Amino acid sequence: MGLVTTKEMFKKSMEQKFAIGAFNVNNMEIIQGITRAAAKQNSPVILQASSGAIKYAGAGYLRRMVEAALEENDIPIALHLDHGADFEICKQCIDNGFTSVMIDGSKYDFEENIALTKRVVDYAHSKGVVVEAELGKLAGIEDDVNVAAEDAMYTDPKQAKEFVQRTGCDSLAIAIGTSHGAYKFKGEAKLRFDILAKIKEELPNTPIVLHGASTVIPELVEICNKYGADIPGAKGVPDEILNQASKLGVSKINVDTDLRLAMTGYIRKSFAENPSNFDPRKYLEPARTAIEDTVEHKIRDVFGSSGKASIC
């Protein structure tokens, strides 16, 4: 099976009320950990690269590593650009074999966002590639995305309908209270499911995407801090809230921070426990296993996509 678009994945997710995990990738170990977990759970999966990941690893390297993972794992895999900032990066990824791109025009006003998104949609669709767009602003920091809390805003359901109709985008990332990074909530974790319900009412056939949706798994934060990290008070979106979102119409849930915590925590642990080791394989292997375990937990216990590979 080669790389696929997200079309069939999202169609089935909307019909059967489950979400597909979209996991950020930067290198071989992360790609292996994610795809092996998805294969064990017989789940479709989305591997996504941010602009930062592409600067670090290169679009061609990432695609070829994902293609290598496909030779090892017979599951539906989509390769997606996360938070494309402009037409040029979207075009670069489309031309490099990505099957899905996100154009993030949320920093612009409504009309500018529509114009930019429509330009990307027109080019992508001419190449058989699907497009995710964003309406509303998520707070937080992730790679090149940096939005202050006071500038964040919820997605307006009526605007969402007009936006999708005018741009022709294939899926829509919305803002209902999640945020990027490891510090998502100061008080009680809460998402605006009332806004999600209104958006689904206006756009019953449009796949909805949740960004900034890492759980910031406490055990992983604890491992990082135990072995020398300084990540106090980190707080993410609890698993039960994400599970509820998957049942209420969210088709794609993005995860990045949890993978960073898993990898960093177990590399730190390995260094602390084996200070004489300087073989990268010896400290990257437990990190890869930690990513695999984290992704398997998400797929099986949170997103509900286990066993869905055959229908996607």
Provide the annotated active-site residues.
Answer: 82
> CB burial class (10 A; 0-12, 13-18, 19+) of residue 252?
buried
Inter-residue contact 287 to 266 (CB < 8 Å): yes
CB 100 within 8 A of CB 6: yes
What type of residue is 277? N
Cβ proximity of 262 and 216 under 8 Å? no
Q: Which strands, in side-by-side order, build the sheet including 145-147?
A: 145-147, 139-142, 179-180
Q: Determine the Cα–Cα distance for residues 54 and 52; give it in Å rounded to an integer.
A: 5
Cα separation, 164 vs 41, in Å, equals 33
